Amino acid sequence: MIKFCPQCGGKAEYIVPEGDHNPRAVCTQCHHIEYENPRLIVGTLPVWQDKVLLCKRGIEPQHGMWTLPGGFMENGESTIEGALRETAEESHAPVTNLRLLSCLSLPFCNQVHTFYLADLIEPTWQTTPESTEIALFSEQDVPWHEIAFRSVEWTLKHYFSCRAKNEFSLIDKTVTKPNW
Ligand SMILES: [Zn+2]
């Protein structure tokens, strides 16, 4: 909810501008329209031999749950650059050979989560304030009941299903409900 205009600081109110179909934050002083759009989360699924790398979250939301390294894409970078940056920031794990694996819409929280399958160059990493524990898991050891986000669960399940068939594809679906 935007209360003030980012251009002039004037009071904003939500109205449907002429020719539009959704309410927008419109400045009552300079009439600037501030559009609000989904945010993109980018990350990787790093693989080493038959194992996947997961990070235990040291921050909210979902503190203490396991996730893939990822985070908000920054202006001025590509999705691959963002995924590499977030992987480095959250795990310091060296990854290469990124291939798009999942593109999941989360309309309930206005986000899109996208993950790249990546090869771990060597099984090294460092914990960070964001990731208090990092480990490799084989499919049967994945802590499925402690996965932080449904998009991460779907991405992992899709990966293991592709691997079983030795046929990799992109999963493009909509997550309709949060899991917390
Ligand atoms: Zn204004």
Cα–ligand 1 centroid distance for 17 (angstroms): 15
In this structure, the strands spanning 111-120 and 131-138 are unpaired
Do residues 156 and 134 both lie within one domain?
yes
Which residue segment(s) compose the domain that 71 sits in?
A: 39-174
Is 179 domain-assigned?
no
Do residues 59 and 148 both lie within one domain?
yes
pLDDT over 90 at 22, yes or no = yes
Cα–ligand 1 centroid distance for 31 (angstroms): 6
What's the DSSP call for residue 147?
Answer: B
Cα–ligand 1 centroid distance for 95 (angstroms): 44
Tens digit of each residue's pLDDT (9 = 90 or more) over 70-87: 999 999 999 999 999 999
Q: Which residues contact 3 (CB under 8 A, 6 or more apart)?
A: 11, 12
Do residues 8 and 64 both lie within one domain?
no
Q: Considering the chain, what percentage of its residues have pLDDT values greater than 90? A: 97
Average pLDDT, the chain: 96
Q: Which residue has the tokens 């899709």?
A: 158
Residue 95: per-residue pLDDT: 98
Cα–ligand 1 centroid distance for 4 (angstroms): 8
Cα–ligand 1 centroid distance for 109 (angstroms): 27
Do residues 80 and 17 both lie within one domain?
no
159: left (phi over 0), alpha (psi -120 to 50) or beta: alpha
CATH number where 19 lies: 2.20.70.10
Cα–ligand 1 centroid distance for 26 (angstroms): 8
Mean pLDDT value of segment 30-58: 97
Q: What residues pair up with 116 in beta bridges, in sequence order? A: 44, 100
Do residues 66 and 80 both lie within one domain?
yes
Q: Which residue has the tokens 């990787």?
A: 44
Do residues 16 and 99 both lie within one domain?
no
Residue 177: per-residue pLDDT: 81
Cα–ligand 1 centroid distance for 19 (angstroms): 20
Tens digit of each residue's pLDDT (9 = 90 or more) over 36-48: 999 999 999 999 9
Do residues 23 and 48 both lie within one domain?
no
Is 180 domain-assigned?
no
Do residues 165 and 132 both lie within one domain?
yes
Is 76 domain-assigned?
yes
pLDDT over 90 at 180, yes or no = no
Do residues 23 and 73 both lie within one domain?
no
pLDDT over 70 at 106, yes or no = yes
Cα–ligand 1 centroid distance for 11 (angstroms): 7
pLDDT over 60 at 89, yes or no = yes
Domain total in the chain: 2
Tens digit of each residue's pLDDT (9 = 90 or more) over 133-149: 999 999 999 999 999 99
